[in-house]
Amino acid sequence: MNLLKQIEQLILLQKVDSEIFSLKKKLDEAPQEVSTIQEKLETQKNQQAQVEEKITILKQQEQKLNKEIEEDNDRIKQSKNKLMMVENSKEYHAMMREMDNLEKTNRLREEEKLAVEEDLAAQNNIKSSLDTEIDKLENELKEKQERLDEQLDGAQTRLDELRKKRENATQEIPQPILSRYEFIRSRLSHPVIVPVDNGVCTGCHISIPPQSFIELQKGEQILSCPNCQRLLFWDNHFSDNGDHP
């Protein structure tokens, strides 16, 4: 296999590696959207639990106040009945003070009850909004999860195909060159082999030495960029194909 054919095989291998790289990135990042919805749903459910706890406490307060108001009303009624039976002014004034105190306490309880009812209505409105939002998030999560499962299944199937394709591609490349490619790939960010455009490495965008560019044009050896160490090829060697292999 001549040198240009070896470079061509490396470029084809890199195309496979590029798709594998993209798919792996997709497999890593795809669950993040679902995770974000799950976190938001968990936050909303925590808020819902807090609101439900407040509602329970307010209902207990409301029940307690209703009972106390009812008991005070009974006492006031009893005091009014007793008032008709008093025999002297001293007892009369004592009964009137007791009734005044009961009525004052009742008014305060009625005001407290009103405040509790307003707070309860506000909390119920908040709960209603949270319930709606939670239902919406749960439906969204279900849809996202189903779509994600389909995407991941498809990506994993394609990834398995690419791994087989890669295995076949590596068999077409001489071991020393393949080892060099793999060595660079393990130490540099993607890509590994890049074209030189007007004397500039398209991997790091820095000009290579003129002599290196001349040697590259000869196509007699596989060169590395002196700056980023990526493997280099000259575009014009493959221009007859209309594009890179």
Question: Per residue in 124-181, pLDDT tens?
Answer: 999 999 999 999 999 999 998 888 888 888 888 898 999 998 888 888 788 888 998 9
Domain count, the chain: 2
Identify whether residues 156 and 202 lie together within a single domain.
no
The helix (H) or strand (E) run that includes residue 233 is: strand 231-234
Q: 189 is in which domain, residue-wise? A: 175-241
pLDDT of residue 1: 52
pLDDT of residue 52: 96
Q: Which of 134, 150, 170 is the last residue of a domain?
A: 170
Between 21 and 128, the higher pLDDT residue: 128
Q: Which of 140, 170, 200 is the last residue of a domain?
A: 170
Identify whether residues 159 and 48 lie together within a single domain.
yes
pLDDT band at 194 (very low <50, low <70, confident <90, very high): very high
| Cα 130 to Cα 5: distance, rounded to the nearest angstrom | 64
Identify whether residues 147 and 211 lie together within a single domain.
no
| pTM of the predicted protein model | 0.54
Between 210 and 85, the higher pLDDT residue: 210
Identify whether residues 205 and 101 lie together within a single domain.
no
4 assigned to some structural domain = no
Q: Which of 112, 145, 170 is the last residue of a domain?
A: 170
Q: For residues 14-33, give the mean pLDDT.
A: 85
Is there a contact between 220 and 233 (Cβ–Cβ < 8 Å)? no
Identify whether residues 150 and 199 lie together within a single domain.
no
pLDDT band at 29 (very low <50, low <70, confident <90, very high): confident
- Say which residues have a Cβ less than 8 Å from residue 128's Cβ, sequence separation at least 6: none
